[in-house]
Structures are given as structure tokens and as C-alpha cells.
Chain A
Amino acid sequence: MEELRKVYKMGSVDIYALRGISLDINHKEFVSIMGPSGSGKSTLMNIIGCMDRPTDGRYLLEGVDIRSLGKDELAHIRNKRIGFIFQGFNLLPRHTAMENVELPLLYNGIAGKQRRERAMEALSKVGLAGRAGHFSTQLSGGEQQRVAIARALVKNPPLILADEPTGNLDSRTSTEVMEILQTLNEKNGITIILITHEKDIALFSKRIIKLRDGEVESDSIIEEPIRAVEFTGEKR
């Protein structure tokens, strides 16, 4: 039941579209999707994230065909099943870290006390419990991205989708973020799909899928992923 399978085919005349991609991503995998710009990474990411529907082909998320679902049902899946981490962090301006993390729970109708507890718990996991009351603009880039990870985590999702999560960060904070993602993958068994164009970052994952011109160019397993914890030297 917990198995995440994805079969995806798409045929289209659009230049940017995907031209028939078939993938299987299993539960508890840590996959990197790589490719130059225009290779269809973002389109694929939007479809995996249930923000867009394929014009053709099938996408099964946990055995459910996404194309058969309405917009509200997609919103519900985004709210419960998928955590998002973006390159630009995408935190709400003029809102505190706490309020940002609470956001998915608000749309899930979870009431006050329980909501705050869960948000605080998620912030603790990324080591930001002490900054809950800070506005997102008062936080550093690394901290903002950790708030975003907390916002993804608070949903307890089986899948986290990270779109260039380190694109706006320096190498040290990038490694920190990757360490968190690795921990989540290994300890919490969360499936992670990482979209990046940086080879260094992709090497933290266990499997790399390369895209080119809307098709899968290569799909390889990394035998020895880099251990981020060895760089940061932190113990979690």
C-alpha cells in the first residue's frame, strides 16, 4: 500500500513538453532528476507535484490515477501527501516562520492548539524552534529553506518534492539542507525527488535520472551516495 509507483507517458507537439517519459519511483527512494533547462524538468516536477495534469499518458500516485481527479482532489493530495521545497523558498512574506509552517494545516482545517504543536515540532526537526516568531524576511537563506522544509514536513508526507532546493544557497548551507533531506529519507522513510542541475547535489541521492528534450536520457543507481553528515560534522 505504501508503495509509490509512477508510470508516465506523454506525447505532445509542444516544444517544452515531455515526449513520453516512463518512470517508476518506489517508496523510500531518493531520486535526483537532472537535465539542462528546457529538458522538461519543471514540467515533470509540476506533474509529479499534482500542480499540473499531463495532457496524455498516466500518472499513478500511490495507485491513484491523477488524471481522474478533480482540482479539489489534487489540492487535497498536495495538502496531505506531498511536501514542496522550492529554489526561491516561496515563504509568505510578512508572515512568521511559525505561520508559514502552519499554512498546510490551516488548509486542512486543523484547529489552533494542535496546529501550533505540530508546526513547532516540525520547526524543531529543522533546528529552528527558537526562530518561530521571526518574519521570513528576518531569516537567512539557509534558515528560510529550513522553514520551507519544516512546512513540507508538517504534513507528514510520504513524498517530498524538492525543486533546486540549494539553488540560492552557498555550498555550506546547501550541504546542511542535503543532510536534512538524507536524514528524512533514511530515518523517516520519506521518498524524496530532487530536481537539480548540479551534479554535486545530485550525488547526495541514491538514483539519478537525466532528462534531455523531454525524454529520459539515462537512469542510474548511485552505489555510494555522498554522506552529507561527513561534511557538516553535525550529529542529528
Chain B
Amino acid sequence: MRGLNQIYMVVKIALRALGRNKMRSALTMLGVVIGVGAVIAMVAVGQGASKAVQAQIASMGSNVLMVHSGSSFHGGVRGGAGSVTTLTGDDARAIEKECSAVDLVAPTLRTATQVISSNQNWSTMIIGTTPSYQFIRSWPVESESGSFFKQSDQDGASKVAVLGKTVSDNLFGSQDPINQTVRIWKIPFRVIGVLSGKGQSAQGQDQDDIVIVPLSTMQKRILGVTNIGSIFVSARTPEDTFVAQQQITDLLRQRHHIQPGQDDDFSIRNFTDVAATADATTRILTILLGSIASVSLVVGGIGIMNIMLVSVTERTREIGIRMAEGARERDILIQFLVESAVISILGGLIGILLGTGISYLISSFAEWPTLISKGSIILAFLFSGSVGLFFGFYPAFRASRLEPAEALRYE
């Protein structure tokens, strides 16, 4: 086929022409390299942030709902959430039994106090809860010898405690805390496990600064109360969280005899909402960084057009010679298009390497998580290729429309 062969030859000619002018080709490429590199690196930063946020959200436990007791309301003065103790263990049991979208329920009661080991002390948060808690928060116990407490501990109000990582580090350092004794309000507790590290919460709190004891122990031995503070609930699936929220609201309003039109005496926090907001925020960040970086890619494309236009003028005589020797308009057009496409595609490939390198540097030196996705690489590559074709077309078109006789006369 003459046509196909012809195109192959013209591509060969274009590559040869690029090779004969390495400096110019390299400089033109630089614009695309920087543009693509910037896009890759910036999107990596944004997606890294987004992944970090998602990981944090996941650390709170997926599809988790928190039911808090409501605020007090006496003579126009409203207390904060939990200032009245409207929730009971029966509420928790009812939720578990009657709400179909609910998987697990863990009633909790918390208090801040000092924990004392043989030679150290540490002020922390004590949470009394049931064994479901660790599953709702998907929070395993760290060492093989340790474990979370059992339902029997809950039933017998055992004096056992599971320590958060921060508490364990502060009280026992490098020692094994298992089977050691800690005292909470002068009551000795046996340490039966240490929770794995969860790190900071989305609000910046240290989630590992915690001691967990059975709820019954907390109620009877520490605080001497019968109510509970809040209830952790997990929905069966993330999609079920909103259904679960509605079911819990209906159930509690009925149990607490709240008339239609009256305010709830409890509140439900839905972590899926928090997650969605955080996710949207980081997505916006990614788009923002990406679009700023694409500006430099467009500038790189204009650079290609600029150089190609100059090059068409500079190579007018060459074009004349080619036309005299039998190049058709489309041969010249394809040659110049291929030249700019090769520049931008090659520049795109180098830019991908550069961007990957930069994001690696960012994550290792600035300790900012970065994530390079296949999607951003493919997108940047396709974009750079089309930039080359788009900005290369006009110069190539101009070159192809030269009159051979005039082009040859050009000095």
C-alpha cells in the first residue's frame, strides 16, 4: 500500500528531523515535562491526603453511629450533650433487638481519671463498655497473649482492663503490661490486653489514650450509677447507616415517650456524614491542585506551538526542498504533527517519571502521604499527547500550505 508506507516514511522523516535538532527538541519538551510532572505530583499530593483522611475515618470504625443522651433543659438553661442521663442499658438492648438495620450495639460510660501502676501514673479516659465495642470500632488487641474482655467479665463485673497503646507506653514503657495491676480509684484491675495503635482521630485527639473496662464494673465499682452515657451502634452495611439512624430515632422517641413536635432527648452522630464531608473536601483539594498544575501543562503546549511556529519559519527552505522533491501537503502536515506529538508524548513520559520522583520526595521529606494512581498517569499522558496534536496542528497546517516555489526562494 502506497498510502500506509508513505505515512511510515513521513513518521521516519519527522523522527529524523527531531534527532537532527536535539537541543531544540529537548527544550520544547521541557515545557511538557514540567507540565505533566506538576500534574502528576500535585494530584498525587491531593490523592494522598484524601487516602489519609479515608484511613482516619476508617479508624473510627466503618458504618458506626453514636447515640448520645440529650441535653438538659431547665428554666431556659440548656446543658451540653449528655448533661442529662436519659439513655439506659435497656435502650441499648432494645436497639439491638428491634432495629433490623443494626448489627452490633455497645453501650458506653466514660469518665476521666488517673490510672496508677506500680511506679507510674497517667490521667486518661476510662470507658466502660461491652465486648461488642472492639468489633464496632474494629479495634483488635495487639499482642498474642492479650485479649479483650469477655461477656463473662461483663456479667461478673470483673476487675479487668484493656489499655490503649498510649496508656500502656506511659505506665509500663517497654515492660509487658499483661497481668500487671493498675489501680483506678484505688481499685486494682488486672491488665488483660493492649489495643493496637489507632493514631489521631479526625478531630486531632489521641484515640489510644484510653482504658477500657467492662461496663458493669464501671457502673458498679467505679461510678456507682446504673445509667449509660452513649451507645455505639454499627449498621449492617455502610448503606444501612441512614436506615439504622431512622430506626433508632423512632424506637428511642417511642421508648422515651416523646410526643410528636417535641425535641429528641438524645442525639445521633453518623460517622458516614463526617466521612462524606472529609472525602468531598479532599476531592476538592485534588481537583484544585490538579487544575493549577494543568495550567502549566497548557503553558507547555503553547511552548510547543511557539517553537513549532518559529521552526516552520526557520525551516521554510527545508519545506520547499521537500515539496520540490515530491512531498505532498499532507506529508508536510503529518511530518510537523508527528514532530510535535513525539515531543509532547516523550515529554509526557519523562514528566510522569519526574512527577513520580517529586511525589516520592514530597512523601519522604515533607512526610506528606502521596498516592500516584494509574488514572492520573493515563490522564496526564493522554492530555499531553492531545496538547501536542492540538498546539502542533496550526504550525503544521501553516507549513503544509507554503507554496513550494516561494518556500525555496526563502533565505
Contacts and interface: CB of A to CB of B under 8 A. Distances in A.
Interface of A: 42, 46, 49, 51-52, 71-72, 75-76, 78-80, 84, 86, 90-95, 99, 103-104, 106-109, 111, 151, 155
Given A42-B409, A90-B321, A107-B9, 12 more contacts: A51-B403, A51-B408, A72-B330, A75-B327, A76-B328, A78-B325, A104-B326, A106-B12, A107-B6, A109-B5, A111-B5, A155-B326
Interface in B286-341: 317-318, 320-331
A107 B326 contact: yes
Interface in B168-196: none
B273 to A, nearest CB: 65
A43 B328 CA distance: 21
Nearest to A47: B405
Interface of B: 2, 5-6, 8-10, 12-13, 16, 20-21, 317-318, 320-331, 403-405, 408-409
B329 A71 contact: yes
A72 B329 contact: yes
Contacts of A52: 403-405
Contacts, number: 78
Nearest to A104: B325
Contacts of A79: 325-327
Contacts of B405: 46, 49, 51-52
A76 B21 CA distance: 28
B328 A75 contact: yes
A105 B242 CA distance: 73
17 contacts: A46-B405, A49-B324, A49-B405, A51-B323, A75-B323, A75-B331, A76-B326, A76-B328, A79-B326, A80-B326, A90-B317, A95-B16, A106-B13, A107-B9, A107-B322, A107-B326, A109-B8
Contacts of A155: 326
A51 B16 CA distance: 25
Contact of A51 (B2, B9, B10, B404): B404
Contact of A103 (B6, B21, B325, B404): B325
A151 B323 CA distance: 14
A216 to B, nearest CB: 21
B2 A84 contact: no
B327 A109 contact: no
Contacts of B403: 51-52
Contact of A108 (B12, B318, B326, B330): B326
A51 B8 CA distance: 25
A217 B331 CA distance: 40
Contact of B321 (A92, A106, A109): A92
Contacts of B318: 92-93
A84 B326 CA distance: 11
A107 B317 contact: no
